[in-house]
Chain A
Amino acid sequence: MSGLLIDDVSMRFELPDGGAVQALKNVTLDIKAGELMSVLGPSGCGKTTLLNIVAGFLAPTEGQVVLNNATVHGPGPERGMVFQQGALFEWMSVRENVGFGPAMKGQKREAAERVDHLLDVVGLQDFKEKAVYELSGGMQQRVALARCLANDPDVILMDEPLGALDALTREKMQSLVLDLWKETGKTIILITHSVEEALLLGERLLVMAPRPGRIHKEYRLPFADMGVGNDLREVKKHGDYNTTREEILAMIWDMEEEIMGRAEGAGA
């Protein structure tokens, strides 16, 4: 497996009122196969735009995204998505949802065993014939994870997948994401609003800055490796964890304040 290259990507679009937005400017990233990268930044820093470009839902105005030596031109099954919520198909059972990808390729029967296995992995074996709307929010996100994995993508793109969950469920899901990452060796890009989550789950952590959206700072962190198979609360007691967290929080506070100040200045 070769990696994912985000090559000098810029995104600029015009507004109906004549103005223009520079959502991303000259973003370059080289993500190796099997890396788990978390992306953090204040609202409007272009992190979701970046993810949508990698997924192929948006075309960049400059630059390109290259996966396995092929340029991305649209959505495809080699790049799986996990959304915050609302992406499951209510008219299908849990098992049909997880088996959706293989079914689209006409491999429903061949994939049946893998689907069953994945339902086991995410702990939903007893719920496979249920309708998805009968499940809790955390269970639904586990279905979304399993559905993505069932298609065996090279890269998994997660857009705040745990954002709508309560704190306890969220912690359990973070462990699950780490375990699945280690087990499957997939490349994962995870977008989050939570500094803690970015620290815990990011082997690489990218802090983005707004206006124009760009990479502000990059970290390489040991916590994801420490968290695999361990209690995440133990990881949080680590001294480095807290100093890094304070540093990133201060950084994002500064950015937010700058945005506010600029907005006030524009208003005056």
Chain B
Amino acid sequence: MIIALIYVAIFVIAFFAVRFIATFLSHRTDFTSLKTVTFGDESAVRADRRASVISVVAIFLIWGAFTGSSWIPRFLHAPGPFVGDGSFEYVVKAPDGSTDTSSVNWRVEVVRGEGEPIAADEGDGFALGDALMITKYRSGQLIWDKNDEFTRKDGALVVEINGTPVDFDPNMRDDNGNLVQSKPRVKIDNGTVTFTDKGALSISPNEGWQMEPIWLPPPEAVWKRLIEISSEGYQNSTLWEHLGLSLFRVVVGFVLGALVGIPLGYAMGLSNWFRGWFDPIVEFMRPVPPLALIPLVIIWAGIGETGKIILLFLAALWIMTIAARAGVSGVNITKVHAAYSLGASKYQLMRHVIVPNSLPEIFTGARVAMGVCWGTVVAAELVAAEVGAGMMIMVASKFQLTDIVIMGIILIGIIGYGIDILMREAEKYLVPWKGRG
């Protein structure tokens, strides 16, 4: 919630800041900048690249600030978890009604067992002072009566923490053995004290606003992982083998799907019988998400390469079939008439009119199919694989290696985006007449 608010604040501040700065810089005077009606004119809306840059920087800034990244200046860091020493006093009431004040010294260490132990102020009376070591991000339990004259078994109770009276008797239970009283919470410096079910004290040092690395590692940890895995590999394969094999599966599955799907789509666009025969199959298979086929493909073909390629083939097949069919239906009838009137045979019409005319549609389909295949291969590898991008992050997640998981997700995103850019460039180069008919 706080992060969302910070993000919105950055958005708004950046918007006004850039506008403010821009008023001092020289204006461009191309045609679009002269338009007075821009709100509602889609053609006048262009992505502001300054906003794109700030947007990406903002994401990394927030990520770094809330993970205590060393790449971000310290003053930008969100408050981190408390590390250091604290103490508080508590009052014990003995079974005979007499009370004694005792103290707790606690210390938060960064790594369990590596901190310098803290000493207790034993004090006097029947309850002696205690000491407690707590690991960062964790809470610590204090058996406060361990070294006292009267223990909880004898009926001793904590009745006051740092001057705040508390009323909690763990021995008061109902017939089902549940606690009768709710457990009080007392704020102390840098932490909170409450009770466990059995009446021990539980001390939670303030966690701050930063994320623990096991939930979200800082960006530099992810970067370090990337360097480490790209040189040493993970799970018996190098990073490039993981990514390359996923990409290989996508390309093979897509090419097979296109090789079958495009002719099938043409046939459906050109012949009543083919259209009738395959319509029910295509229309039925189209809404079935490829992910739903994974279990069946695993049953039939196992978890090896064959199964994955069959799955990707099926994912690409229907998309390419429908794209090719749409490409044929999209041929302006006057073009077909013109070609026949110029003496074209059926084969020539196919070769010189229908195929080139359907290429833009096929490219659009190919872009969608590549995207779907890339998503499907990652999902299939999450389920079962020995090598692959999805397998890499799935295994890493089992060991709570969040840095590998995040690195994998970023790489999967970059590759998916790269595929789309490549397809768009190929489209611009191969079908320059798209949308110009």
Q: Tell me the A residues contacting B by CB distance below 8 Å.
A: 55, 57, 74-77, 79-81, 83-84, 86-91, 100-101, 104-105, 131, 133, 147-148, 151
Query: Size class of B's contact patch?
Result: 20 to 34
The reply to whether the CB of B339 lies closer than 8 angstroms to some CB of chain A is yes
Contact A91 B357 (CB under 8 A): yes
B344 in complex: contacting residue of A80, A91, A104, CB < 8 Å: A104
The dominant DSSP class at the B interface is helix
The 5 closest A-B pairs by CB, nearest first: A77-B343, A90-B433, A133-B436, A75-B340, A91-B356
B342 and A147 contacting across the interface, CB-CB below 8 Å? yes
User: How far, in angstroms, from A188 to B432 measured CA to CA in the complex?
Assistant: 35
CB neighbours (8 Å) of A91 from chain B are 356-357, 359, 431, 433
B residues within 8 A CB of A131? 432-433, 436
The chain B residue with its CB closest to the CB of A100 is B342
Chain A residue contacts of B353, Cβ below 8 A: 89
Contacts of A76 in B (CB 8 A): 340-341, 343
7 more CB-based (< 8 A) A-B contacts, given A79-B341, A100-B352, A104-B352: A75-B337, A75-B341, A83-B334, A91-B357, A100-B339, A104-B345, A147-B338
B196 interface residue (CB < 8 Å to A): no
Residues of chain B within 8 A (CB-CB) of A55 are 337, 341
Residue of B334, B342, B433 near A86 (CB, 8 A) is B334
Residue numbers in B under 8 Å from A133 (CB-CB): 433, 436-437
Once bound together, how far apart are the Cα atoms of A105 and B342, in whole Å?
A: 9
CA distance A53 to B338 in the complex (A): 14
Can you report 30 residue pairs joining A to B where beta carbons are below 8 Å apart? A57-B337, A57-B340, A75-B341, A77-B342, A77-B343, A79-B341, A81-B337, A81-B338, A83-B334, A83-B338, A86-B335, A87-B334, A87-B335, A88-B335, A88-B338, A89-B339, A89-B352, A89-B357, A90-B437, A91-B359, A91-B431, A100-B339, A104-B339, A104-B343, A104-B345, A104-B348, A133-B436, A147-B342, A151-B342, A151-B343
B343 touches A87 (CB 8 A): no
Q: Which residues on the B side are within 8 Å of A87 (C-beta)?
A: 332, 334-335, 337-338
Q: With A and B bound together, what is the CA distance between A148 and B339 in angstroms?
A: 10
Bound state CA distance, A104 and B340, in angstroms? Answer: 10
Which chain B residues lie closer than 8 Å to A80 at the CB level? 341-342
How many Å from the CB of B335 to the closest CB on chain A?
A: 6
A-B contact count (CB 8 A): 74
Cα–Cα distance between A91 and B436 once the two chains are bound (Å): 10
Find the residue from B343, B352, B437 having the highest chain A CB count within 10 A: B343
When chains A and B are docked, how far (Å) is the Cα of A77 from the Cα of B340?
A: 7
CA distance A84 to B333 in the complex (A): 12
Q: Which secondary structure dominates chain A's binding surface? A: loop
In the complex, A99 Cα to B356 Cα: how many Å?
17
Determine the residue in chain B with the shortest Cβ distance to A103. Answer: B352
* CB closest chain-A residue, reference B345: A104
B339: chain A residues at CB < 8 Å are 89, 100, 104
Residue B332 contacts which of A57, A74, A86 (CB distance < 8 angstroms)? A86
Which A residues lie within 8 Å of B436 (CB)? Answer: 90, 131, 133
Give the distance in Å from the alpha carbon of A100 to the alpha carbon of B345 in the complex.
12
Give the complex CA separation of A105 and B343 in angstroms: 7
Most chain B CB inside 10 Å of its own CB: which residue of A74, A88, A100, A147: A100
Closest to B356 in A: A91
Q: Once the chains are docked, how many angstroms separate the CA of A84 from the CA of B338?
A: 11
Contact bitstring B312-338, A, C-beta under 8 A = 1, else 0: 000000000000000000001011011
The minimal Cβ–Cβ distance linking A145 to chain B, given in whole angstroms, is 12
**Distance to closest chain A CB from B257 (angstroms):** 25
CB distance from A240 to the nearest CB of B (A): 35
Closest to B335 in A: A87
Which single residue of chain B is at the shortest CB-CB distance from A78? B343
In the complex the two chains form, what is the Cα distance from A89 to B358 in whole Å?
12
> How distant is the Cα of A83 from the Cα of B436 in the complex, in angstroms?
18
Q: Please, how many angstroms separate the alpha-carbon atoms of A131 and B359 in the complex?
A: 17
List the A side residues contacting B341 at CB < 8 Å. Answer: 55, 75-77, 79-81
Please name the residue on chain A nearest to B357 by beta carbon. Answer: A91
What is the CA–CA distance of A133 and B432 in the complex, to the nearest angstrom?
10
Find the A residue at minimum CB distance from B433.
A90
Q: Which residue of A lies closest to B437 (CB)?
A: A90
Q: List A contacts of B433 (CB < 8 A).
A: 90-91, 131, 133
- A57: chain B residues at CB < 8 Å are 337, 340
Q: How far is the CB of B116 from chain A (nearest CB, A)?
A: 78
Inter-chain CA distance A89–B332, complex, in Å, is 10
B residues less than 8 Å from A75 (CB atoms): 337, 340-341
Please report the C-alpha to C-alpha distance between residue A80 and residue B340 in the assembled complex, in whole angstroms: 9
Most buried by B among A79, A86, A147, A151: A86
| A contact residues around B344 at 8 Å (CB) | 100, 104
Shortest B262–chain A CB gap in Å is 17
Docked-complex contact B432 and A101, CB < 8 angstroms: no
Q: A83-B337, A104-B348, A131-B433 are in contact. Are A89 and B342 (CB under 8 A)?
A: no
Interface 0/1 of B95-125, CB less than 8 Å to A: 0000000000000000000000000000000
